Amino acid sequence: MQTTSGLLEFESSSLKKFVPSDEERPLIPKYIPSWEGHHTRELYSKYPLQLISPHPRFSFHTMGDAKDSYLNDVRDHRVLKEDGYYYWIIRVNASDALQRGIQDNDLVRVFNDRGTVICAAKLTDRLPPGTAHSYESCADYDPLGKPGESADRSGCINILTPARFITKDSSGMAPNSCLVEIAKLEPAPA
Amino acid sequence: MNKWNLIIDVAKCHDCNNCFLACKDEHCENDHLPYAAAQPRHGQRWIDLLPKERGQYPHVYVAYLPYTCMQCDNPECMQAAEDGAVYQRQDGIVIIDPLKAKGQKAIVDSCPYGVIWWNEALELPQKCTFCAHLLDEGWKEPRCVQACPTGALKFLSLEDAEMQQMAKSEGLEVWHADYGLEPRVYYRNLFRYNKCFVAGSVALKDMDECANGAQVTLLDSAGNVIDRLLTNNYGDFKFDGLGQDSGRYRLEVEYPGYKKQAVDLQVKESIGLGTIFL
């Protein structure tokens, strides 16, 4: 057993030694409401969709994506729209999408206080209502206006995710504690 | 004379796109004359993966249909072509001659499967060649089949009679047999793409438990039993392979010590019923 006591532990002896008083990582694991989630009432009322953003399935981090690669033509990687642009995909529960007047393959604004990313919506029942899914690490940044202050249309989902760590005493990132709202993009960019 | 056949198992395709990307790697910006001119980088899908999501949350099943030139034994494109611009090899592979076919857009329009693409720059109809240029060098399979990690794609050289026998004994189907074009691409588990299911969960309300082993019976509108099964330990059941828009059904759920329940259904698309409480 690789614990410091060599035994199965209910209370972590190594945490007790190194970080005994981290309220966000107690010695005995317990449920803690997220600092950005459905318990954060004010934020949740503005941004009611929980965004999860795992590693991309078809590109390897940024490798292979964008740059006019034929990987862009993989149906579940990007969507080619009438304007000739390959948009990053956000997957949305079908009922959430329909409530917002969003149809399959529509361009949408995905946004919160951190910024806005333009994506193509894919409607699915593989996600429960109240959640959205889009891969992190697209390989381009394409702001419509001033960089850093305008919407990105290449799919930089990490614009939306929190910069903070899971706890102050660890270096674990927390991209899935992320609330967003999604709205149909009108009009579509020329 | 043996001919090449592609056998596709829909149940094994996970949408990894290795086939799609291997095809692009082989054919994009690579001329393989006299078999095919280069595939443009974008716009053509010599092999495609057509997604299908069936059911409603939480009863959702996803399938992908690998979709390519069906290498028909009786191809429409060959009839539409002038100057013998489309020909069939002795091994069954249908080839669009990249020189003779120049300007013949009618070849694209002739294909009911929609798997012939128009190359605007070259004014050329193009499609999958089963990688005939590699087979003629001694390869035993095209790039897409070689790249498939799950065995969803299999490539077989058989006499037509043997292939027919195998299709029959293993329940293989062709896409749109009604076109009458005798494809050389066969599908296994095609129901996952083109049929419907009725699925649900059974739970015991008073126990707050999944009903493991509840008997679920599916009946047609005349009251005849179509199928009967037992729920698994999550209380789940699924009847698959029902026709789209196939009308009215009745579902009966029984569990010892509980009152039998019936649900009347109209099947248009797949139905996820959620939880039926006894």
Q: Which tens digit of pLDDT belongs to each residue from A118-127? A: 999 999 999 9
Mean pLDDT computed over every residue of chain B? 97
CA A6 to chain centre: 38
Radius of gyration of chain B (CA): 23
Three-state secondary-structure class, residue B239: strand
* Nearest by Cα to A78 from A120, A49, A39, A114: A120
Chain A environment of B28 (Cβ under 8 Å): 70
CA distance B30 to chain A (A): 14
CA distance B57 to chain A (A): 5
B103 in the Ramachandran plot: left (φ > 0), alpha (ψ -120 to 50) or beta?
left
pLDDT at A187: 78
* Nearest by Cα to A104 from A94, A96, A117: A94
> Can the peptide bond before residue A129 be classed as cis, meaning omega within 30 degrees of 0?
no
* Mean pLDDT value across residues A99-114: 97
CB atoms within 10 A of CB B38: 18
* Nearest by Cα to B181 from B46, B69, B49, B65: B69
DSSP letter for each residue of A7-33: S--SS-HHHHHH-TT-TTS-SS-----
pLDDT bracket for residue B214 (50, 70, 90): very high
* Nearest by Cα to B145 from B276, B1, B41, B20: B20
pLDDT at A188: 56
pLDDT bracket for residue A140 (50, 70, 90): very high
Contact between A110 and A134 (Cβ < 8 Å): yes
Contact between A99 and A137 (Cβ < 8 Å): no
pLDDT digits 0-9 by tens, B92-137: 999 999 999 999 999 999 999 999 999 999 999 999 999 999 999 9
CB contact under 8 A, A125 and B45: no
Phi first, then psi: give them for residue A73, nearest 5 degrees: -85, -5
* Mean pLDDT value across residues A57-75: 94
pLDDT digits 0-9 by tens, B224-251: 999 999 999 999 999 999 999 999 999 9
Beta-carbon contacts of B205 under 8 Å, excluding residues fewer than 6 positions away, are B277, B278
C-alpha angle B131-B133-B138 in degrees, rounded to nearest 5: 95
Closest chain A residue to B56, measured at CA: A125
Three-state secondary-structure class, residue B9: strand
* Sequence letter at residue B22: A
Closest chain A residue to B18, measured at CA: A58
CB contact under 8 A, B24 and A70: yes
Q: Is A74 on the interface with B (CB under 8 A)?
A: yes
From the number of C-beta atoms within 10 Å of its C-beta (0-12, 13-18, 19+), residue A190 rates as exposed
Give the Cα separation of A73 and A83 in Å (integer).
15
CB contact under 8 A, A126 and B60: yes
Give the Cα separation of A184 and A59 in Å (integer).
26
Torsion on CA atoms A16, A22, A25, A29, rounded to nearest 10:
60
Structure tokens of A106? Answer: 């529509």
pLDDT bracket for residue B152 (50, 70, 90): very high
Give the Cα separation of B121 and B123 in Å (integer).
6
Say if residue A89's pLDDT is above 90: yes
Phi first, then psi: give them for residue A165, nearest 5 degrees: -85, 170
Q: Is B269 on the interface with A (CB under 8 A)?
A: no
CB contact under 8 A, B28 and A70: yes
Give the Cα separation of A123 and B24 in Å (integer).
28
Chain A environment of B49 (Cβ under 8 Å): 75
Q: Is A68 on the interface with B (CB under 8 A)?
A: yes
* Nearest by Cα to A131 from A65, A175, A178, A169: A178
* Mean pLDDT value across residues B154-168: 98
Q: What is the DSSP letter of B38?
A: P
Say if residue A189's pLDDT is above 70: no
Chain A environment of B24 (Cβ under 8 Å): 70, 73
CB contact under 8 A, A74 and B17: yes
CB contact under 8 A, A58 and B17: yes
pLDDT at A169: 85
pTM: 0.93
Closest chain A residue to B42, measured at CA: A70
pLDDT digits 0-9 by tens, B17-72: 999 999 999 999 999 999 999 999 999 999 999 999 999 988 999 999 999 999 99
Q: Which of B42, B45, B57 sits opposite A128 (nearest CB)?
A: B57
Percent of chain A with pLDDT over 90: 92
* Mean pLDDT value across residues B250-265: 97
Half-sphere exposure of B143 (CA within 13 A, CB side): 20
* Sequence letter at residue A161: T
* Nearest by Cα to B95 from B81, B112, B113: B81
* Interface with A, mutate which of B13, B19, B21 (most A CBs under 10 A): B21
pLDDT at A170: 85
pLDDT at A171: 87
Percent of chain A with pLDDT over 70: 98
Q: Where are the beta strands (DSSP E) in chain A?
A: 49-52, 78-80, 86-93, 107-112, 115-124, 131-133, 179-184
Chain B environment of A68 (Cβ under 8 Å): 41
Give the Cα separation of A92 and A90 in Å (integer).
6
Q: Is A70 on the interface with B (CB under 8 A)?
A: yes
pLDDT digits 0-9 by tens, A126-136: 999 999 999 99
Structure tokens of B267? Answer: 């099947």
* Sequence letter at residue B144: C
Say if residue A190's pLDDT is above 80: no
* Mean pLDDT value across residues B181-204: 98
* Nearest by Cα to A47 from A100, A119, A86: A100
Phi first, then psi: give them for residue B64, nearest 5 degrees: -130, 135
C-alpha angle B232-B237-B242 in degrees, rounded to nearest 5: 150
How far is residue B37 from each of residues B26, B131, B242, measured CA to CA in Å?
11, 12, 43
pLDDT bracket for residue A1 (50, 70, 90): confident
Q: Which of B20, B53, B60 sits opposite A74 (nearest CB)?
A: B20
User: Sign of torsion, CA A85 A89 A94 A96?
Assistant: negative
Structure tokens of B120? Answer: 């605007």
